Amino acid sequence: MLAEKHKLRYLEGMRGLAAIIVVLHHYILAFYPAMSSANEAQIHNERSYFEEVMAQIPLNIFYNGGFAVCIFFILSGYVLSNNYHQNNNPQILIQYGIKRYFRLLVPVSVSILLAYAFVHLGFMNRLHLGDITKSKDWRVRLIFLIIFTH
């Protein structure tokens, strides 16, 4: 019988926090791109330098998606393989693979169908939003937000 999984909850919590930061980062890229790029042309209010300042100070680590993705993948590799390395049982890897596939199949399928329905119904055809948000690729980021926040 397979050994019961010993969860490292504090590391799983950090993985969850990293995933939330990635979602926040995509929101910022879609609607406040200057906070990520420090490009003055993308600032919404020329009299306010909040977006540019936020892009240049160390606090941007709290919404830096690239850093959060790296942390997420490093922690995932450790957390998901920890039980295997403690027990040296290849059945654990097979069991994890099967459980993960079916656990993710439903939410991924629903998200893809939801995004397709939004595009098909014309909810993503708001070309003027790119001018308002000063982000040219806002539709791709909005679809990403819809898919990964459900």
Does the residue 3 lie in any domain?
no
4, pLDDT greater than 50:
no
9, pLDDT greater than 80:
yes
Does the residue 119 lie in any domain?
yes
66, pLDDT greater than 60:
yes
User: 54: which 2 tokens?
Assistant: 């936020």
Full residue range of the structural domain in which residue 98 is found: 9-148
pLDDT-derived band at 2 (thresholds 50, 70, 90) equals very low
Does the residue 13 lie in any domain?
yes
Does the residue 140 lie in any domain?
yes
Our count of domains for the chain comes to 1
pLDDT tens digits, 67-87: 999 999 999 888 888 888 888
Whether residue 74 contacts residue 7, with contact meaning beta carbons closer than 8 Å, is answered with no
pLDDT value at position 1? 38
pLDDT tens digits, 117-142: 887 887 766 556 566 656 666 556 66
pLDDT value at position 89? 84
DSSP string, 53-94: HHHHSGGGGGS-HHHHHHHHHHHHHHHHHHHHHHHT-HHHHH
